[in-house]
Structure 1
């Protein structure tokens, strides 16, 4: 990790020392936040890249970014941002982003720590991605990705894009030095200039690391190949990893349909999460995210963006992973199999949880995926304590009187815990964020009102004020 950071810093200094002109964008903000409880309301802390502390206090954010230059075949960009807060949970300085990027034609390589790109203009509750939403802090590594590349001889009707990435999870979790592998492949079919159909598969895997009782987990190159193909573990792996697949595998199957009008876009997307084979072969139906979105190309409309997202993760391929086998089923089984005498049903997917990687799909105590999947203490461990959810989310964005940008977020959920630890708790959470039209000031003034009402979180009301300034420095 030290080598990676040093390498990025060397790249940043070398790029900043080049004679070519580039726009350098800076931003700085100071926020204050207060609530009626010791913690902040749900939408005051969710989807903020892990920078917002969950308590009353102040937050200072600073960032410096360059754009891609267009004078060379290989273009470069870089960025660095950090935040520091004073809050009841404690005081902390956080390195948020530190990255260098290179772009050549349709390919891009990111090195370091970088936010996922914003989708649906910020009104989605998961940034359009059930598995990685932008709710948690970034992790360092590399990501080789592409834009859509047209397939030859298809007259531009068929295109594909991909990514291949590896990261490190550097938080103080139950297991140390966890590695993270990610890859995806998406295909776009465009039968008409106004219609796009995009389908794809995205795979994530936690692997290697040091377990407090089981010791160092397999982390060789041959083990990496097992991670790539989701194969069972070899020598040194746990019983669970040798039976199933080495590491903790999860991901999503994604479908998106876009209608591209001259002045707006209409979009539908469907995310199907998976933790094992029962998710990839649709046995988990109807689990997933279902979304409808309208986005205008005119940001000065009263309503420029509207999204409705429906979440259902209650089924999880059923309540049983396996059951006693019948005599006929036993007769067809291998006596040496670990599941001899049992019939594997593939249920109880237990989204974002895992046995060996006991903190599950969390980073610094925050869920990496959808914020509706609730982390919390289970014994002495932070785990996902609520992943069986039915939720509705509405996000609206626009500009009132062509002078006052705003964003409204309204969410209602029924929360059932997990199959192991069940409960039944309703929850409503809302947010209204407004940028005040003080155009004569040298900075913008953003205010936010947030509220929680229900049984999952304590009834809570919060208020934030943010002073921010953005600008360009021409080198």
Structure 2
């Protein structure tokens, strides 16, 4: 609805009625919403010149007495830049919209509250008579208390560089740096959180003498990130895209191990843990509008500590876990990145953490239009899951009795249909998801979502 003043208001109400059984693709990459009960969501967005305000709230469970503010932010545009405060969802990395998810910042959790200064869109710059484009962001965030005594902080920064060739080919290279710091843990107590400690976190420096010894030897806080590379070619109405995301937990994973392999005249195949994707997009509404294939392999992790020195002098990066911040790269008990990295607990640890980060998976996604107002989406994911190096090598008793010792196979699929403007201003979504394998519990179920648009905006767009 366009109001008489210059503000744009959008209010959406959605009703979701799932089956008793909640399958993998019915619970992941949904911005933290996970419920077997009916739910209603309300959305509001207002814009005026350089200011923007948005709010999305969800009410759920059988008694309708639980609510969640999923989105809530205020932003101010300053020329090409933007200052943003609150919770919001924004696609920052290069993966397909049909992907299993970004390795660093995806849609699996409710957004983390942050204050961010960013350059949201690519800005043209000139370097040595060559034209490039840049974008990036710098953030301070607040993580949840969870199993900690005091909640830690989040430091985030990212930078992307893009080069265009002949107006048809684009090369994008980006790097994300994330750090969990401060707060207070049960085992290690109050962590350094003065301004001088913040600067150490920002620049990846070791801790002062009053910090835990391990932080003095390495760096202060839990540091992690990804390299994100994408090549896109546009041809008429088609767009082809290759993307690769490589996770790292330290300098060896980010730089050193790759160059050490090159110096030894080795093909640096062990340096390339990560997510590889190929995507084909049609700009028109076709039967096959988007097709994607992804391969994920995070088996090496700079090698196991039990490996020989010639094989790896680093080892056991243990993606998304940390010895002080033992809940790892999670928020509200969910992985912040790709949900194939499974969250759980064990007998030896009385809290949630990433129990599975050594994964091989194949994923196919297809979407398109059966009719002009009937869109479909199919996702098929097949994975083999090997747990973690730490849990395997620290397993009490016979290592071969470790749950993930030989790898656990898992297959999950989603079939979704969107009826756009089924009736005037009403969209309907029907989906069916199924799980089969030895990792997750076998399940299947239907979900129904009805959305009424009070404005000219469609949630399906």
The question of a shared fold, defined as TM-score above 0.5 by the shorter chain, is answered with: yes
Partner of 2:415: 432
| TM-score (normalizing by structure 1) | 0.84
From 363, 384, 387, the counterpart of 2:357: 387
From 335, 338, 349, the counterpart of 1:370: 338
- 1:51 to partner: Cα distance: 1.2
From 233, 238, 241, the counterpart of 1:264: 238
Partner of 2:396: none
Unmatched runs of 5 consecutive residues or more in structure 2: 259-269, 393-403
Partner of 2:452: 469
- 1:285 to partner: Cα distance: 1.7
- 1:469 to partner: Cα distance: 1.6
- 1:445 to partner: Cα distance: 1.6
- For residues 161 and 382 of structure 1, the distance between their equivalents in structure 2, rounded to whole angstroms, comes to 35
- For residues 296 and 423 of structure 2, the distance between their equivalents in structure 1, rounded to whole angstroms, comes to 43
- 1:263 to partner: Cα distance: 1.6
3-state SS of 2:6 partner: coil
Partner of 2:248: 274
Counterpart contact for 2:318–2:390, Cα < 8 Å: no
3-state SS of 1:149 partner: strand
- 1:308 to partner: Cα distance: 1.1
- For residues 308 and 244 of structure 1, the distance between their equivalents in structure 2, rounded to whole angstroms, comes to 38
3-state SS of 1:420 partner: helix
> Is residue 2:44 matched to residue 1:64?
yes
> CA-atom RMSD, angstroms?
2.5
- For residues 321 and 64 of structure 1, the distance between their equivalents in structure 2, rounded to whole angstroms, comes to 54
From 41, 60, 78, the counterpart of 1:85: 60
From 316, 321, 324, the counterpart of 1:353: 321
- 1:154 to partner: Cα distance: 6.0
Counterpart contact for 1:120–1:295, Cα < 8 Å: no
Moved more, 245-254 or 394-403: 394-403
Partner of 1:122: 97
Partner of 2:118: 145
1:377-456, aligned counterparts within 5 Å? Answer: 377-378=345-346, 379-422=349-392, 423=404, 424-436=407-419, 439-440=422-423, 442-456=425-439
Partner of 1:45: 27
Which deviations, in whole Å up to 9, do the C-alpha atoms of 1:187-223 show, x marking residues without a partner? Answer: 1111221111111211000000011243211001110
Change beyond 3 A, Cα 1:153–1:68: farther
Counterpart contact for 1:259–1:265, Cα < 8 Å: yes
Which deviations, in whole Å up to 9, do the C-alpha atoms of 1:334-355 show, x marking residues without a partner? Answer: xxxxxxxxx9821100001001
Which deviations, in whole Å up to 9, do the C-alpha atoms of 1:113-138 show, x marking residues without a partner? Answer: 11123876631111xx2111110111
1:196-207, aligned counterparts within 5 Å? Answer: 196-207=170-181
Change beyond 3 A, Cα 1:473–1:407: closer
3-state SS of 1:439 partner: strand
Change beyond 3 A, Cα 1:380–1:439: same
Counterpart contact for 2:6–2:48, Cα < 8 Å: no
Which deviations, in whole Å up to 9, do the C-alpha atoms of 1:345-395 show, x marking residues without a partner? Answer: 211000010010010011111100111100001231101000000011111
Which deviations, in whole Å up to 9, do the C-alpha atoms of 1:283-336 show, x marking residues without a partner? Answer: 4523011011112222x21111111111000110101189899xxxxxxxxxxx
- For residues 413 and 139 of structure 1, the distance between their equivalents in structure 2, rounded to whole angstroms, comes to 28
- For residues 121 and 346 of structure 1, the distance between their equivalents in structure 2, rounded to whole angstroms, comes to 32
- For residues 31 and 150 of structure 1, the distance between their equivalents in structure 2, rounded to whole angstroms, comes to 43
- For residues 232 and 386 of structure 2, the distance between their equivalents in structure 1, rounded to whole angstroms, comes to 33
- 1:94 to partner: Cα distance: 1.1
- For residues 243 and 233 of structure 1, the distance between their equivalents in structure 2, rounded to whole angstroms, comes to 8
Partner of 2:287: 302
> Is residue 2:137 matched to residue 1:174?
no
From 106, 118, 127, the counterpart of 1:133: 106
- 1:172 to partner: Cα distance: 2.3
- 1:24 to partner: Cα distance: 1.6
1:303-318, aligned counterparts within 5 Å? Answer: 303-318=288-303
- For residues 143 and 56 of structure 2, the distance between their equivalents in structure 1, rounded to whole angstroms, comes to 19
Unmatched runs of 5 consecutive residues or more in structure 1: 1-17, 70-74, 326-342
Counterpart contact for 1:24–1:473, Cα < 8 Å: no
- For residues 138 and 163 of structure 2, the distance between their equivalents in structure 1, rounded to whole angstroms, comes to 22
Counterpart contact for 2:242–2:279, Cα < 8 Å: yes
- For residues 79 and 443 of structure 1, the distance between their equivalents in structure 2, rounded to whole angstroms, comes to 21
Counterpart contact for 2:416–2:432, Cα < 8 Å: yes
Change beyond 3 A, Cα 1:28–1:236: farther
3-state SS of 1:190 partner: strand
3-state SS of 1:148 partner: strand
> Is residue 2:278 matched to residue 1:292?
yes
Counterpart contact for 1:101–1:111, Cα < 8 Å: yes
Counterpart contact for 2:228–2:246, Cα < 8 Å: yes
